Structure 1
């Protein structure tokens, strides 16, 4: 019956809702586990967490019980809806408008029938007892009841004046299967004192998942009803509202009638299910009683339909049938709004799962890139720094003549400027008498030292600048890229909390030219140097007149300093300084690089552990949750696929045909039963990658998935993957025979499919004959992406079909070039035109021998039917060095070229065959013509003989006749 069907629907809903709540809890917990593991930063974890909006939306669907809010034009219509829902008359049915308004009613599950008054959640503040039961005597307490007494439902005028009793909710407890499933039924109040049932509906909505059932008893909506519905649409635009037309009760119906008579009338109107009637003749079906005819539902007026569509916007205008009928709830009643809630919740969860998976893959890519590129950066930095060091040392060791010339030119050019600067120089911290005399010899030495510092400092700056101009070439050649490389390494190291100084060491090396110092060197004779010092001492001895400190004296001191410079020794001194500073900087750089390498190596070990956890723990867990959420959504939308005949059977599952599912036809259903957690994780990852691949003409599309929890009595559920069904696989096609050009086109299709997967960052890892499907036009598509993964998510597992496996697969370190290798083996079969194993593999008597043969790099043999270009392409594809295998972008045009040449050759052969046939026909025609001519000539000769004979016979006859 209708109520029983509704119970089944809500059982399904609650079961799916519990499943979604479990998925939500596990999703949140999984994300928090990722944060606690320390594999990701706080910012990264924040990116994958459910947003507040998602949590709020999920809580709105899964956080509270489902509640049917019964609303309508009058109390009679609402009571009829509740009666039809429960399959029994619980509320009094008053056919005419009641004189007293009804209080709000809540029907919920209880072990025994009960009626009580409780304060609502929005009770007045002075009551301070929201949710508490009022100790009032009700008529239902005085006698057993089947229908709640009318007096307990209605609110009289005296009760309305009491704010506590007037706002109370009538709680009705029933042991009904519909309520046992967690459903609540709330009947909105009518003619409430606060103006509108919306005042009661508002506080109720946050606590439950509401569905409004609006009972229509009359053909028109009143102004107040229109106002209430408009307000409902405005305040709660997404709230699902079902409009139900209730039947009209006959004039004889009254609440004063006995319950048995009321029951019969309601059964006749199909409000209540008819009681089962026993068959008096069970052995004689022809004599079975025929139930009495039931009245047809009354058609609803078109004007009311238009009001709900156009004026209120609750319904969508669709092409109407000839007769518009609003039927009351039938046996096939489905709560579509419930399904939409579940679909929305499962979609939200699936979006969160997919977002997490995308982030995990991106993080894994970043980690893989860091693991690969960091050692290369360190090696590059070491090599470039060594080149820079050798180049700078070459400047210091091999270009001394150039440096000496630089010094001589600089001194000659700056001499006059230096003398002028010295003459105008003002001494510091030296007391000079007004006439220029000094107090003592110590101050003379101070003045001389300051002039020396002035001259040497100026020369030092200019010589250094000249040398820097030559070093800048090295700066541009080496420092730019090297410095960026070191900055990236330092940035990675600082992320670990370390503060390397390798960049400073590099700067010291390059800036060594800026730090050369020009030193004063006297003549080569030590005695001369000693003689000059003795003259200065004697000049300042007591009794001698002190020198006059003026401009001339300053110029002379500066000139003596400049003249005392030796370019050769100065060059040697500068080069020695340069080499010493370069070596110190070089040693400092190598030391810093060694420390940096140790720090980064430790970081990479940690990164590898983080990547492994993402690949083996975090991503599979979220992928499984994603599989469950999307499978639940597909199950709700399209149901369980119907399995027909078996199409094939593999190592991990069985493939069945399916006529149609989810709007797609025909379909193939791959049934898989995961045996353990690892198999579950692998299947979930396969599903995620396959589902995330954009639709492509060379890839078999995965249309959906369903999990059959009833399989194996619920202990080992089966996962059904629904995909497009094609005609046959390449193995069967080659076995039964295909033309050469058709096989070449298939090879080209496979190449395009693999290229597309690689463009999505995926590696198929199992390219073989049975994983290539053909449509009715013999165009190929790749299928079975069970081993398909992004490079960053591959954990080095040894997977695939042995003879198609590249040797590096056995090492666990490989990339997408393994698909190129597998294509080379596949192309061998395509060119061979048969499915027999190559001779070298056919000689293997066991699987272990076959694996050893493949691991050692065995290759198929060359067959006589192979074209040279095809054989060369095979050999390049299955080259033992992955770096030497061609890119599929190069393979595709070569296949196109081979196809074009073979097509042209076949066309030429056909033309030659046609010409030969024409020539043979012509020769045959000529022979026939010659034969005819010969026959004609013979005939003519025979005619001549006959004519001659006849003439001779005539002459003979004439002679005879004349003789006679």
Structure 2
């Protein structure tokens, strides 16, 4: 398997925009991230440098996406400073000894809120691409970078037999590629990318085949790629989850989002979600119920563009999908037809032909499935969707996940991913800033009430002493 190398941390730092409260030195903010720690490699040999072949044609990257991350990094830098100043001010308040422990507990951020702010302003942002279709995820990643960094497999083949490892893109001064284990060690393995300059990552480095499947370290290793790209500035990461691996969805999700602030993208290829994809959506609802998700359908190529074998594979795949994707709606006579009283009144001579049909099967679309799961709204205003030219073919939810969206036409991905990222990052900034604002307001309210109490004591106490002295003099 080779030697082990320790891998340094890749966490980032952050903070946001402010309103200062007089002499308190407390400020309100808006949120982001900053520079990240350098990496130190220990091992028996240095990692080979990899040359990335330049492509003649370069697709346009998602419009202004790096600019959104730059704004988030700038705002989160201020927010991080305000967060630290707030904690330092609260420590100074506690040291003065004037307030009780109960009062100090009300002023401080609770542990959950403090951890949320810390994750928002300290950890790097990562675009996490989920899904079971290697073809769909490769198209999404390539569209994000504006170039073909991942090989695009046949969309109509049997992808259940194709096993891809996790791929993580991060910023670097030069292009480097390596295999990394979940426990922050790197494997010194020979990769196909070392042999010659490459423009697209060799499939041999992505696929887990043969003896590698039997080796737990090789099968669990992720492909770490460091490259110089505008999208990866400000310590942004792009993570493509593995396909058809042995881990559960929760384990895969924890690995992909560890040490970063995730923005979830879910790529799929069919008109409706398969059983495995629906299981993933249920897990997302359970693990991260408040996290917005951008669902992207990578449109399949036209049948005329496929070979005969690919057309046959597509027909078989569609047949299997049609069996899986059905909505069974039960129709029963009356609302209380299941009660025992009504069953006793039913005519025993009723034949099966006369009995009403109880089940009707209807085809389901991805939109309907997401509505039933609560990701998108069931009553999306069609007129608004047609009039809003900036967001064509995108349905925004107003229920459990207000920011979750569905892109049904892949041609609209480049413009809508920027809007989704902007909305998700602004939501993080506003949430973190609101928590700090609440803490600052509690402090101000406590100080004002304390000042009133001190003023009252200063004015009333001397009069009380004079009155007591007068009464004592009268008694004697």
TM class, shorter-length: 0.5 to 0.7
What's the counterpart of residue 292 of structure 2? 240
What's the counterpart of residue 281 of structure 2? 229
What's the counterpart of residue 494 of structure 1? none
Where 1:330 maps in the other structure, the secondary structure is helix
Q: Does 1:11 align with 2:67?
A: no
Pairing partner for 1:100 from 145, 150, 162: 162
Q: Deviations over 1:823-869 (max 9, x none)?
A: xxxxxxxxxxxxxxxxxxxxxxxxxxxxxxxxxxxxxxxxxxxxxxx
Pairing partner for 1:212 from 264, 269, 285: 264
1:92-171 matches, cutoff 5 A: 92-96=151-155, 97=157, 98=159, 99-120=161-182, 130-171=183-224
- Greater fraction helix: 1
CA contact (8 A) 2:166 2:239 kept: yes
Where 1:317 maps in the other structure, the secondary structure is coil
- CA distance in 1 between partners of 2:132 and 2:382 (Å): 26
CA contact (8 A) 2:129 2:266 kept: yes
What's the counterpart of residue 319 of structure 1? 380
Q: Deviations over 1:437-461 (max 9, x none)?
A: xxxxxxxxxxxxxxxxxxxxxxxxx
What's the counterpart of residue 413 of structure 2? 329
What's the counterpart of residue 107 of structure 2? 48
Q: Does 1:343 align with 2:396?
A: no
CA contact (8 A) 2:162 2:243 kept: no
What's the counterpart of residue 374 of structure 1? 461
- CA distance in 2 between partners of 1:149 and 1:5 (Å): 29
Where 1:207 maps in the other structure, the secondary structure is coil
* Aligned residue-pair number: 332
Q: Deviations over 1:698-724 (max 9, x none)?
A: xxxxxxxxxxxxxxxxxxxxxxxxxxx
Where 1:385 maps in the other structure, the secondary structure is helix
RMSD (Å) for aligned C-alpha atoms: 2.3
Give unpaired runs (5+ residues) of structure 2.
1-59, 308-362, 387-391, 394-407
TM-score, length of structure 1 as denominator length: 0.33
Pairing partner for 2:92 from 26, 33, 36: 33
Seen in structure 2, the aligned counterparts of structure 1 residues 152 and 46 have a Cα distance that, compared at 3 Å, is same
Q: Deviations over 1:345-399 (max 9, x none)?
A: 1111111111111111111111111211211111121122223x15xxxxxxxxx
Pairing partner for 1:24 from 83, 86, 91: 83
Q: Deviations over 1:526-577 (max 9, x none)?
A: xxxxxxxxxxxxxxxxxxxxxxxxxxxxxxxxxxxxxxxxxxxxxxxxxxxx
- CA distance in 2 between partners of 1:11 and 1:253 (Å): 41
Q: CA deviation at 1:114?
A: 1.4
Q: Deviations over 1:216-270 (max 9, x none)?
A: 211121112111211221122122211112232356589xxxxxxxxxxxxxxxx
- CA distance in 2 between partners of 1:253 and 1:65 (Å): 41
Q: CA deviation at 1:145?
A: 0.7
Seen in structure 2, the aligned counterparts of structure 1 residues 109 and 248 have a Cα distance that, compared at 3 Å, is same
Q: CA deviation at 1:206?
A: 4.8
Q: CA deviation at 1:39?
A: 4.9
Q: CA deviation at 1:302?
A: 7.3
CA contact (8 A) 2:241 2:256 kept: no
Q: CA deviation at 1:113?
A: 1.0
CA contact (8 A) 1:2 1:331 kept: no
- CA distance in 1 between partners of 2:61 and 2:447 (Å): 48
Structure ID, larger Rg: 1
Q: Does 1:362 align with 2:449?
A: yes
Give unpaired runs (5+ residues) of structure 1.
121-129, 255-300, 391-964
TM-score, length of structure 2 as denominator length: 0.66
RCO higher in structure (CA 8 A, sep ≥6): 2
What's the counterpart of residue 670 of structure 1? none
Seen in structure 2, the aligned counterparts of structure 1 residues 138 and 250 have a Cα distance that, compared at 3 Å, is farther
CA contact (8 A) 1:95 1:249 kept: no
CA contact (8 A) 1:79 1:93 kept: yes
- CA distance in 2 between partners of 1:184 and 1:369 (Å): 57
What's the counterpart of residue 818 of structure 1? none
Seen in structure 2, the aligned counterparts of structure 1 residues 172 and 219 have a Cα distance that, compared at 3 Å, is same
Q: Does 1:200 align with 2:256?
A: no
